[in-house]
Amino acid sequence: GAGVSQSPSNKVTEKGKDVELRCDPISGHTALYWYRQSLGQGLEFLIYFQGNSAPDKSGLPSDRFSAERTGGSVSTLTIQRTQQEDSAVYLCASSLGGHTDTQYFGPGTRLTVL
């Protein structure tokens, strides 16, 4: 079956521009997570959705970062006024929704801010 997909796979942008990253979770998965993976930093939790609501936004690094999820499915992570330190791989994962349910990760979007 189809796994988690993310687009674009690569994004190169100029400092100061806005970017949108998209995640299509596995059908039927109610929980959706966004992470950031930087070299030597591991996976950094950004935000968690249960359905369309985001009960935990504690990981968003600044107010330039926002995310939404519509129809309990597709999610978009938006970074406004990108900075060079935003360069990283942005990973999305989805799960059935229970705390112990396995998270299935997408391949990530590699963002490079010049």
Q: What does the per-residue mask of binding to another protein show for 85-104, with x meaning CB under 8 A? A: ------x-x-----xx-xxx
Q: Considering the complex, what minimum distance in angstroms separates the CB of residue 16 from another protein?
A: 28
State which residue, 84 or 100, has the beta carbon closest to another protein.
100
Interface positions, 22-81, toward another protein (CB under 8 A):
31, 33, 35, 40-45, 48, 50, 55-56, 58-59
CA 57 – CA 46 distance, rounded (Å): 7
- Exposed, middle or buried, 106 (CB in 10 Å: 0-12/13-18/19+)? buried
Number of residues that bind another protein (CB under 8 A): 27
Query: Which residues 6+ apart lie within 8 Å of 89 measured at CB?
Result: 36, 37, 38, 108, 109, 110, 111
Give residues in contact with another protein (CB under 8 A): 4, 31, 33, 35, 40-45, 48, 50, 55-56, 58-59, 91, 93, 99-100, 102-108
